[in-house]
């Protein structure tokens, strides 16, 4: 019976394979780098040129031959490197030999090798300190008297060689590190973290280097991690009163360097009063119960109040006596500010949603009050009017579509359809203003163009500092003459169905209402005859997101085409809206079918 591996092991196999492939590729790249670096330095020594020139030479051979640079490098290796030129050999001053006895780190005296133009192309080890080794462990007897770049190609790939040349040429000392240095030996890369120094002395360079051990690297890494994460570490020695703080602790608690670390008995006084109880409990946990404590509190800072999270642990001796307290602290002020900002934004969003929902509820109630009849038919002098009104499919799309169809005292029939711009309570309020305003103005007996001008003035001056606009078709049907006298205020043109053919009525549209103070509207006169049907509608019938409005007009005309002269206007609306139903948009829809009897 075979064992089934845990799900975690099964899931990890692709990751393991990926790691193995990446490691294989990385090792291949490292070997390639080692071979090329070593070959460049060998070429530079044999040809008496600078390493940078040798690198360009090797790359040029690769380009000209079409052979990979690694293969070219492998073909050029071998042979003993040239000896040190006699003119470069020099007697090491006695004081240099004495100085090399002092350092407890590896040190050497490097003498430059120049080309015919006097440029430094290499150095050689003229003398070394007792016990000196390079990062690969080779001792002084294997390095002294040999060329630098041949024995240690890593100085070239790490740019340490260039810095040595700069010190030799300018006389300026060099101190670099800790940095990641990679030596090349036996087609392998030998990485190490080192610190290096160099000064010009007599005819050469006094240099020293120190490879950092694992403990030093861990400490340095921890210090870098603290800086990156903005963590502070501190220790209060309760026996001696000595306090040790890292640099970040000064930043967290707003202390200047000259003030030194904060004594433990001063610490509680920096806490804001509201958080004092939390800190008191943490101190009690440490001092009385000898247990670690994690607390979050606000402290006074020279730049204001800061939010701080602190983890504290007691340090006990072998007898269980508390001798010190160690803490790890982090300033979380920015995080808390973001949380407060998010909470405030969430609260505002909730309030806005509640307000919007209330506005929609009021708007819907207002629409229900003003437009109680949303489908059905009206019998008016000489006309039968079918109507349909559909609010937006979503509550927040509730708009300002409206209609008016009623008999006036002079015998004419007022016909109007309009759209108050926007959605929600604003649109519903404007719709109420337009509809009720028109109803009152119509009783003056004025023609439609005058009614349009008056209604515009009512909207323009009634909105105060807020700009509100709307569109409308306003007209009068005279049952005695059969004429429809109407205006267009930025609204879609009516559709005339005559003898089964649907066409858009030609119109010279006027400006939308509320946009300017004193516009003028052109009165259009359309003779109608028995059996004609006129569609008055809002833009929700023809407009769709991402579609040209002309396509919407074509769809409406196609849906209305073929209506019979005796067909009931309600049936016409059902058929037209049925064909357009698949294209319902998000906006309100209001449509009147006016049949001439």
pLDDT in tens, 212-269: 875 555 566 666 766 766 788 888 888 778 888 888 888 889 888 888 998 888 888 8
The answer to whether residue 6 is domain-embedded is no
The answer to whether residue 355 is domain-embedded is no
pLDDT in tens, 69-112: 888 888 888 777 778 888 888 889 999 999 999 888 899 999 99
Residues 403, 278 within the same domain: no
Least confident of 175-184, 387-396, 441-450: 387-396
Residues 196, 258 within the same domain: no
Residues 377, 525 within the same domain: yes
Percent with pLDDT over 70 in the chain: 87
The answer to whether residue 84 is domain-embedded is no
Least confident of 8-17, 130-139, 278-287, 294-303: 8-17
The answer to whether residue 277 is domain-embedded is yes
pLDDT at 140: 92
Least confident of 157-171, 309-323, 349-363: 349-363
- Greater confidence (167 vs 468) lies with 167
Residues 394, 429 within the same domain: yes
- Greater confidence (6 vs 299) lies with 299
Mean pLDDT of 469-487: 95
Residues 69, 95 within the same domain: no
Alpha carbons 441 and 439: distance in angstroms, whole number: 6
Closest CA to 122 of 164, 158, 93, 154: 164
pLDDT at 473: 96
The answer to whether residue 165 is domain-embedded is yes
| Total domain count, the chain | 4
pLDDT at 9: 44
Confidence band for 466, pLDDT divided at 50, 70 and 90: low
pLDDT at 110: 95
Confidence band for 206, pLDDT divided at 50, 70 and 90: very high
Which residue range forms the structural domain that includes residue 27? Answer: 12-75
Residue 243, domain CATH: 3.30.450.20
Which residue spans within 286-396 are E strands per DSSP? 293-301, 304-316, 322-331, 375-380, 383-390
Residues 159, 261 within the same domain: no
Least confident of 62-71, 165-174, 419-428, 569-578: 419-428
pLDDT in tens, 311-349: 999 888 777 778 888 899 999 888 888 888 888 888 888
Q: Residue 11 above 50 pLDDT?
A: no
């Amino acid at each position: 019976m075979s064992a089934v591996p845990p799900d975690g092991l099964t899931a990890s196999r692709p990751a393991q394979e990926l790691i193995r492939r990446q490691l294989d590729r990385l090792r291949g790249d490292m070997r390639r780098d080692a071979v090329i670096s070593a070959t460049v330095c060998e070429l530079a020594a044999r040809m008496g040129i600078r390493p940078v020139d040798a690198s360009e030479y090797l790359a040029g051979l690769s380009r000209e031959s079409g052979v990979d640079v690694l293969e070219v490098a492998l073909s050029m290796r071998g042979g003993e490197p040239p000896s040190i030129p006699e003119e470069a050999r020099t007697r090491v001053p006695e004081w240099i030999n004495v100085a090399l006895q002092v350092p407890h780190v590896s040190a050497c005296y490097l003498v430059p090798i120049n080309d015919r133009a006097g440029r430094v192309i290499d150095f050689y080890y003229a003398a070394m300190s007792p016990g000196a080794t390079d990062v690969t462990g080779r001792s002084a007897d294997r390095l002294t008297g040999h060329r630098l770049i041949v024995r240690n190609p890593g100085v070239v790939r790490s740019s340490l060689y260039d810095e040595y040349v700069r010190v030799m040429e300018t006389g300026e000392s060099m101190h670099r590190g800790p940095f990641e240095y990679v030596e090349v030996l036996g087609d392998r890369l030998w990485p190490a973290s080192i610190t290096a120094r160099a000064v010009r002395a007599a005819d050469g360079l006094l240099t020293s280097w120190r490879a950092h051990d694992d403990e030093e690297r861990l400490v340095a890494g921890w210090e870098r991690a603290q800086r990156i994460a903005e963590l502070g570490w501190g220790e209060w020695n309760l026996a001696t009163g000595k306090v040790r703080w890292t640099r970040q602790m000064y930043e967290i608690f707003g202390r200047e360097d000259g003030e030194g670390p904060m004594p433990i008995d001063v610490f509680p006084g920096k806490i804001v009063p509201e958080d004092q109880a939390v800190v008191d409990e943490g101190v009690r946990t440490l001092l009385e119960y000898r247990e670690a404590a994690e607390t979050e509190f606000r402290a006074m800072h020279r730049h204001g109040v800061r939010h701080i999270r602190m983890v504290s642990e007691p340090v006990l001796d072998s007898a269980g006596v508390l001798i010190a307290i160690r803490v790890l602290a982090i300033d979380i002020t920015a995080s808390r500010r973001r949380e407060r900002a998010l909470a405030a934004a969430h609260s505002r969003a909730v309030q806005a949603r509640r307000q919007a929902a209330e506005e929609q509820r009021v708007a819907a109630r207002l629409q229900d009050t003003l437009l109680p009849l949303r489908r059905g038919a009206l019998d008016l002098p000489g006309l039968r009017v079918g109507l349909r009104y559909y609010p937006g499919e979503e509550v927040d799309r509730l708009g300002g579509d409206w209609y008016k169809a009623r008999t006036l005292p002079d015998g004419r029939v007022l016909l109007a359809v309009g759209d108050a711009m926007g959605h929600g309570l604003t649109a519903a309020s404007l719709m109420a203003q337009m509809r009720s305003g028109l109803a009152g103005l119509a009783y003056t007996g004025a023609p439609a163009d005058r009614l349009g001008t008056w209604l515009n003035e009512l909207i323009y001056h009634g909105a105060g500092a807020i700009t509100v606009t709307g569109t409308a078709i306003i007209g009068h049907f005279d049952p005695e003459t059969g004429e429809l006298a109407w205006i267009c205020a930025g609204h879609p043109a009516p559709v005339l169905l005559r003898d089964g053919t649907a066409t858009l009525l030609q119109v010279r549209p006027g400006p939308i209402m509320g946009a300017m103070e004193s516009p003028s509207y052109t009165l259009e006169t359309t003779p109608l005859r028995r059996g004609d049907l006129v569609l008055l509608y809002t833009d929700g019938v023809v407009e769709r997101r991402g579609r040209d409005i002309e396509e919407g007009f074509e769809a409406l005309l196609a849906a209305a085409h073929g209506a019979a002269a005796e067909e009931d206007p309600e049936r016409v609306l059902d058929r037209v809206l049925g064909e357009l139903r698949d294209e319902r948009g998000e906006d309100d829809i209001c449509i009147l079918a006016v049949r001439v009897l």
